[in-house]
Amino acid sequence: MKTRSIIFFTIFLTMSIISTGFSEKASLPKIKEEKVTYLIGNTVFKCVIYYDESRPGKHPGVLVVPEWWGMTDYPLMRARKLAELGYVAMAVDMFGEGKVAANPTEAQQLTKPFYSDPQLAKARLTAALAKLKTFRQVDLHNIFAIGYCFGGSVVLNSAKLGVDVKGVVSFHGGLAGAPADKALLKAKILVCHGGSDKFVTEKDVEAFRHQLDSIKADYKFIVYPNATHAFTNPEATAIGKKFDMPIEYNPKADLDSWNDMQTFFNRVMNK
């Protein structure tokens, strides 16, 4: 009798472990990647969207605007990570045709029109937003835009010009550009800025903050000590050495800013 009880207990324990294993496996994210395109004039824009197929219902959407290098693996990685958190995230092709700059000179040529005309940046971001809204998984009341370096400048200027998103997050982005206008600004703002960023001057920081303070904008400006420009990109140190640029990866600032972004999203969505 005792032997039989032991056998039954062993079978029960084994089935419980198997069952638990299946349950954990079933709860893992099932990330779907889709390539999406749309036309602006005669130019094809090639974006990539990610979402978790295992999560039913609608979820907040996030536009991810790349660094000045364009559609490299980096914005795709960030969009995928957002999908793993439950967002519907789209890496945005700002230049068209999925262009990628091979060096800083090419990058400057690709980004110069946007710095000269912030309305162009807003128009491109608005087109991407319209495409994101066509996905049934997206909660149309909770859409955000985040950007890195050049992309940070894009989302900040687009917000100041009235792009219709719930909030924007800039990671080591440029702060100059369009003036802040209370009548246009709809989005809440989070700026994640490197304390050792040599591309953004203290004068730029003061002017930016003064603008937003003057219109009583809902924004938060966080400075990460010892973080340079491009501090979130794991490839930044190698890129900096290759092209003699004062940039490097900062793991702590990367993690802290990513967590600060999530806190910002949660706060804004609950308003």
Q: Is 165 helix (H, G, I), strand (E, B) or coil?
A: coil
- Average pLDDT, rounded, for the chain: 91
Q: What is the CATH number of domain 29-269?
A: 3.40.50.1820
Grade residue 270 by pLDDT with cuts at 50, 70 and 90.
confident
Grade residue 194 by pLDDT with cuts at 50, 70 and 90.
very high
Per-residue pLDDT tens digits for 174-193 = 999 999 999 999 999 999 99
Q: How far apart are CA 76 and CA 189, in angstroms?
A: 23
Whether 185 and 218 have beta carbons less than 8 Å apart is answered as no
* pLDDT for residue 11 is more than 50: no
Grade residue 91 by pLDDT with cuts at 50, 70 and 90.
very high
DSSP H helix total and E strand total for the chain = 8, 8
Neighbours of 134 (CB within 10 A): 9
pLDDT (0 to 100) of residue 172: 98
Extents of the domains making up the chain: 29-269
pLDDT (0 to 100) of residue 27: 61
Whether 212 and 188 have beta carbons less than 8 Å apart is answered as no
Neighbours of 66 (CB within 10 A): 25
pLDDT (0 to 100) of residue 13: 40
Whether 138 and 88 have beta carbons less than 8 Å apart is answered as yes
Q: How far apart are CA 260 and CA 271, in angstroms?
A: 17
Which residue from 169, 172, 143, 141 is spatially nearest to 156, judged by alpha carbons? 169
Per-residue pLDDT tens digits for 137-172 = 999 999 999 999 999 999 999 999 999 999 999 999
Average pLDDT over residues 202-224: 97
How far is CA 183 from each of CA 160, 178, 216, rounded to the nearest angstrom?
Answer: 9, 14, 12
Residues counted in the chain: 271
Average pLDDT over residues 108-130: 97
pLDDT (0 to 100) of residue 169: 98
The pTM assigned to this predicted structure is 0.89
